[in-house]
Amino acid sequence: MKKHLLISLIGLCLAATSVYADGGKVLTPKQCTIGDRPVYNPISEIDFTFAESIGVAADAKAIITCGGETVATGAITERNYHGQYSTEGIATITFDKLILPKGKTYSLEIPAGAIYEKETPTVKTENLKVDFEVPANIINIDCTVKNKSVVESAHNICFYYNTETEPIGKPTMTLYREGVPVRTFEAHVAWDWDLGQASADFGTKMNFEKGVRYSLVLPAGSLSPRFRTDITNEETRVDFVGGYTEPAASIDYVWCSLYDEHITDVLGKVRFFYKQAIMLSPNPKILLLDGNDELLKEVTPTLGEEKGQWVVSCDFEGAKVPENGCNIVIPEGTIISAEGNVAVNARSSFSVNGSTGLGKASAGSIKVKVADRQIIIDNAPVGKTLSVYSAEGKKVAARLIASPYFTMELEANGIYIVSINGKSYKVVL
C-alpha cells in the first residue's frame, strides 16, 4: 500500500463566503482540518481556510479546552495564495506535537477579531469554535464479511479502521468453529489514505461448512494509530454461518496401536495414527467408558509425528478393563484438521474386551465414496468383510477391513455394488 499521510480538509457547518450579521460583514472560514473525524495523532498544526486574503492580529492565540478548562494554547499565523481565478487565505494554529489524553471531547476556540480580511481589516471573524474527539480506542468501521451473513468460501477476511494503523508486536487472528478455536493466522496490518486495515490470509480458498457457525477474532491491543501507541483497538470480531454445501472431509485415524497389541485386563498407552495434518482442540479429552457409558477414566491426549503420520497418544495408566468390556471414545471435535478447510472428527467409539482384545469398532455412519478407480470407506467397521459385486451380480473382490479409513482399488471403471456389514451401496467408477 502507498504510505503517505493525507491531511483531509473538513468543512465547517458555516457558509463558504462572507455573510452579514447585525449590519456588519463577518469573515467566515470555509474549511478546517479538525472537527469532523476522530483525532488519533499528535496535533502539530490546525488550518482554517478562507476564500479571501487574510491577516492575523498581533500575538493572536487559539486555545483548546476540555470541560471548560484550557489544556493547550497555540499561536496563529497567516499565509495567502493568489491564483488567476481565486484567492485563498489560510490561518495556521501551531502546537508542539500536542498529545491530548484519550477518551475525551475537546473544543478549539479562536477569539473574535483574531483573523481579519486583508483588504478590509474591519471585516473580522466572530468567535470560532470547533469540537473534536480523541477516542479511547481505534474504531472498526467495516469488514469484507458482513456480520451474521452466510459465507460459502473466502481467501481472506479483512477488518477496516478509521485511522492509519500499525501492528503492536506480531498480532494474530483466530478462527473459531462453533466456539472452538481451529486456526490461527498472522494479522497483516497496513494503512492507506486515512484508513487502516488488518487481514487474515488463509493461503488458499477456504470453504465454510454449511450451517456451521464461525467467528474470526482480532484480540484487543493488536493495533495502534501510526503516531500514537497509547490508543489501541478493542477486540474486533465477525460472526458468520458457513454456506458451503459439500460436506467437509471426515477426519479418521488409519491405524490404532490396539490392532496389533494384545489386551489382557488393563489398558496402557493407546495411539491413533492419522495420514493428514491435524491439531488437537483446546483441552482435549479421550474417555474410557464402561458398558453402561459410565466414565471410568478421562485422559488428556498428546500429539506427535511418526514416519510422516500424525499420532494422537493417550495413556490410560493401567486402567482395569471390566469383565464385560469397555469403550474408548474420542468425542466429536477432539481432532481438527490443521490445513485447508476446517474439519473435525465425528464421535468415534470402539469396544475393548479383556479376553478377546479389540472388539467391534465404529465411528458413526458408514460413508462410501469413490475417487478415480478407488472405493473409499469412511467409518468402516473394523473386522468386517467388504465385498464388491459387478452390475451383473458377480463378486469381483472381497477384503477384510482392518482400519476405519479403508480403500480398495478396482481394475476397471463401471457400476458396482459394495456390500458391507449387511448393507449395500451402489457406486460408479
Which residue, of 90, 115, 135, is where some domain finishes?
135
In a domain, 271, yes or no: yes
In a domain, 261, yes or no: yes
* Residue 330, pLDDT score: 93
Which residue, of 135, 168, 193, is where some domain finishes?
135
Contact 410, 394 (CB under 8 A): no
Which residue, of 242, 265, 286, is where some domain finishes?
242
C-alpha 242/C-alpha 178 separation (Å) is 11
* Residue 256, pLDDT score: 84
Q: What CATH number does the domain containing 375 carry? A: 2.60.40.10
Residue 310 pairs in a beta bridge with 274, 305
* Residue 363, pLDDT score: 45
Are residues 333 and 374 part of one domain? no
Are residues 198 and 94 part of one domain? no
* Residue 357, pLDDT score: 44
Are residues 279 and 229 part of one domain? no
Is the pLDDT assigned to residue 414 strictly greater than 90? no
What is the average per-residue pLDDT within 399-417?
78
pLDDT in tens, 306-317: 989 999 999 999
Are residues 375 and 274 part of one domain? no
What is the average per-residue pLDDT within 126-135?
97
Is the pLDDT assigned to residue 175 strictly greater than 70? yes
CA 81 to each of CA 53, 75, 91, 113: distance values in angstroms, whole numbers, following the listed order? 7, 20, 12, 21
Report the alpha-carbon angle 142-144-147, nearest 5. Answer: 70
pLDDT in tens, 349-384: 777 865 434 444 444 578 787 777 778 887 788 777
pLDDT in tens, 239-296: 999 999 987 777 888 888 887 776 678 899 999 999 899 999 999 999 999 888 899 9
In a domain, 5, yes or no: no
Give the chain's radius of gyration (CA, Å).
35
Is the pLDDT assigned to residue 405 strictly greater than 80? no
Average pLDDT over the chain, rounded to an integer = 87
Q: What CATH number does the domain containing 179 carry? A: 2.60.40.1220
* Residue 7, pLDDT score: 36
Are residues 63 and 146 part of one domain? no
Alpha-carbon torsion (315, 320, 325, 329), positive or negative: negative
Contact 290, 310 (CB under 8 A): no
Q: Is the pTM of this model over 0.85?
A: no
In a domain, 250, yes or no: no
Range with lowest mean pLDDT among 9-23, 120-134, 379-393: 9-23
C-alpha 190/C-alpha 7 separation (Å) is 18
Are residues 279 and 235 part of one domain? no
pLDDT in tens, 131-145: 999 999 999 999 999
What is the average per-residue pLDDT within 326-345?
92
Residue type for position 158 = C
Domain that holds residue 170: 138-242
In a domain, 248, yes or no: no
* Residue 121, pLDDT score: 95
C-alpha 391/C-alpha 394 separation (Å) is 7
Range with lowest mean pLDDT among 34-38, 104-108, 419-423: 419-423
* Residue 2, pLDDT score: 39
In a domain, 247, yes or no: no
Taking the CA atoms of residue 290, residue 296, residue 302 and residue 305 in that order, the dihedral angle to the nearest 10 degrees is -30
Residue type for position 331 = P
Nearest in space to 196 (alpha carbons), one of 250, 134, 126, 137: 137
Q: What CATH number does the domain containing 355 carry? A: 2.60.40
Q: What CATH number does the domain containing 26 carry? A: 2.60.40.380
CA 97 to each of CA 43, 91, 227: distance values in angstroms, whole numbers, following the listed order? 5, 18, 10
Are residues 23 and 97 part of one domain? yes
In a domain, 158, yes or no: yes
Tally of domains within the chain: 4
C-alpha cell at 91: 490561518
pLDDT in tens, 53-101: 999 999 999 999 999 999 999 999 999 999 989 999 999 999 999 999 9
Residue 131 pairs in a beta bridge with 107
Are residues 163 and 116 part of one domain? no
C-alpha cell at 309: 503420520
In a domain, 4, yes or no: no
What confidence category does residue 117 fall into, taking pLDDT thresholds of 50, 70 and 90?
A: very high
Are residues 160 and 106 part of one domain? no
pLDDT in tens, 190-199: 999 889 999 9
Share of the chain above pLDDT 90, in %: 65
Are residues 120 and 150 part of one domain? no
Are residues 198 and 113 part of one domain? no
* Residue 6, pLDDT score: 34
Are residues 314 and 213 part of one domain? no
